[in-house]
Amino acid sequence: MGVSATKQKDNGNTNPSKKTHTRTNKIPQKATKDAIIIDNGTGMIKIGIAGDDAPKAVFPTVVAKGGYSDPTTGMQQNIFEVGDEAIAKSGMFKLEYPMEHGIVRNWDDMEKIWNYAFYNKLSINPQEHPVLINEPPLNPKENREKMTSILFEKFNIPKIYISISPVLSLYASGRTTGVVLDIGDGVSSVIPLSDGYAIPHAISRMDLAGKELTDFFNKILYEKGFAFQTPFEREVVKDIKEKLGYVAFDFNREMDLSIQQNSLRNYQLPNGQVIQIGNESFRTPEVLFQPSFMGIYQPGVHQMIYNSIMKCDDNLRKGLFENIILSGGSTMFPGFSERITQEISQMAGPNFNTKVIAVPERKYSVWIGGSILASLSSFEQMWVNKYEYDEAGPSIIHKKCF
């Protein structure tokens, strides 16, 4: 039927003054029970229970809508599907993606997706569980308030906490100092933190991430004579990108070699046809380092990291260069961490040691960080509860979730 970690102290950390830094939550020490953790991604939702090592469900952030006229009543019957079921019905139904670059644009569809996540994927009643959910850096305040209102009023949750995605990724790494590069499907963001404090004037984001890479890859495949047009076919393009894509250590040299050697790799399409992929496999991720390939004249992700660190106080930079944390599915390309290390090392020079942390499970770092945070007992005081919401309204979320 249609859905009609333990805190670790970093060496050399400096506690910045509260005057120039915004407080985020330090990792506390024990357990809040049965909180629901949602990584509310543009492309994929990850949802599960606090204290678990991984989300229980991961599915596309999409709704498929269709309908038919009931022959007995003549009434129009509307049907919708969510997630993988929506993709499967893409030939018959219209697909709607409620999020764009990390920002919710269609709240009715977002509500359908959360309802599906709670009841169909987790099989739980959200009225019995606190919810910790993420947001991108620089999320509009009205969006944060709307998220709060829907979860309290439509799902009757008892408590909520909203955290910036890269902060959760830092906690997942067991650190409280570092600079996080988070690249998902909708947004690339960089946020530096020192001893649990975010440094707001050094935060940056770029609306170029996994979705744009898929679009770019699709475009160059089209130029080779391969047309992938339907939503299902687009998922195939995404799969090719993820399976064959890699980041070149030296892009120009890799291009020269690809021309000289005519290096090709095979990919079998669902219909059995085999296509050959050449330098498209590394030209696509290169867009993250050279956005001008897509006509976007902004710094690449390596430059974003460097610029962010250099906006921080001199005495913080050493600890940030030594703790560059990668997060999100679009950092999973082979060669990505090595390229970041090389680029940052060249810009930072010999006075700084550059260390990039790229854990294998970084695709789920945001969710894992939320799981760690919400499972600790001293986090209890950080929740915004329903009573506080009823008393103060949705703006209460800004007072407790910085």
User: Of all residues in the chain, what percent carry a pLDDT higher than 90?
Assistant: 74
246 and 281 fall within a common domain? yes
274 and 374 fall within a common domain? no
DSSP 121: I
Give the mean pLDDT of 206-222.
95
- Locate tokens 């250590």: which residue? 249
How crowded is residue 240: how many other Cβ atoms within 10 Å of its Cβ?
A: 24
Give the mean pLDDT of 202-209.
95
Structural domain includes residue 35: yes
Checking if the pLDDT of 8 tops 50, the result is no
* Burial class (CB within 10 angstroms; exposed 0-12, middle 13-18, buried 19+) of 143: middle
Checking if the pLDDT of 10 tops 60, the result is no
Structural domain includes residue 47: yes
Question: What does the pLDDT read at residue 4?
Answer: 35
110 and 158 fall within a common domain? yes
Q: Which residues have C-beta within 8 Å of that of residue 332, sequence separation ≥ 6?
A: 242, 362, 363
Checking if the pLDDT of 26 tops 80, the result is no
Checking if the pLDDT of 291 tops 60, the result is yes
Question: What does the pLDDT read at residue 93?
Answer: 84
- Confidence category of residue 20, pLDDT binned at 50, 70, 90: very low
pTM summary value: 0.86
Q: What is the CATH number of the domain that holds 379?
A: 3.30.420.40
- Confidence category of residue 88, pLDDT binned at 50, 70, 90: confident
Structural domain includes residue 392: yes
Structural domain includes residue 236: yes
40 and 122 fall within a common domain? yes
Structural domain includes residue 361: no
How crowded is residue 292: how many other Cβ atoms within 10 Å of its Cβ?
A: 10
pLDDT in tens, 236-289: 999 999 999 999 999 999 999 988 887 889 999 988 899 999 999 999 999 999
Domain that holds residue 236: 210-294
85 and 146 fall within a common domain? no
pLDDT in tens, 67-86: 766 667 666 677 789 999 98
Give the total number of structural domains in the chain: 3
- Confidence category of residue 386, pLDDT binned at 50, 70, 90: very high
Q: Which residue has the higher pLDDT, 214 or 198?
A: 214
Token pair belonging to 215: 């679009």
Structural domain includes residue 299: no
Q: Is 173 helix (H, G, I), strand (E, B) or coil?
A: coil
pLDDT in tens, 262-274: 788 999 998 889 9
Q: Are 143 and 154 in contact (CB under 8 A)?
A: no
- CA 151, CA 160: separation in Å to the nearest integer? 8
Q: Which residue has the higher pLDDT, 27 or 168?
A: 168
Checking if the pLDDT of 9 tops 50, the result is no
- Confidence category of residue 12, pLDDT binned at 50, 70, 90: very low
* Burial class (CB within 10 angstroms; exposed 0-12, middle 13-18, buried 19+) of 142: exposed
Checking if the pLDDT of 16 tops 50, the result is no
Concatenate the DSSP letters of all residues of 361-372 into one string: TGGGHHHHHHHH
Q: Is 290 helix (H, G, I), strand (E, B) or coil?
A: coil
Q: What is the CATH number of the domain that holds 232?
A: 3.90.640.10
Q: Which residue, 294, 325, 345, sits at the end of a domain?
A: 294
Q: Which residue, 294, 322, 341, sits at the end of a domain?
A: 294
Token pair belonging to 214: 């898929």
Structural domain includes residue 358: no
Q: Is 22 helix (H, G, I), strand (E, B) or coil?
A: strand
pLDDT in tens, 96-142: 999 999 999 999 999 999 999 999 999 999 999 999 999 998 899 99
38 and 159 fall within a common domain? yes
Computed over every residue of the chain, the mean pLDDT equals 88
Structural domain includes residue 401: yes
Question: What does the pLDDT read at residue 68?
Answer: 65
Q: Which residue has the higher pLDDT, 11 or 188?
A: 188
Q: Which residue, 276, 294, 312, sits at the end of a domain?
A: 294
* Burial class (CB within 10 angstroms; exposed 0-12, middle 13-18, buried 19+) of 119: middle
Q: Is 271 helix (H, G, I), strand (E, B) or coil?
A: coil
Question: What does the pLDDT read at residue 73?
Answer: 67
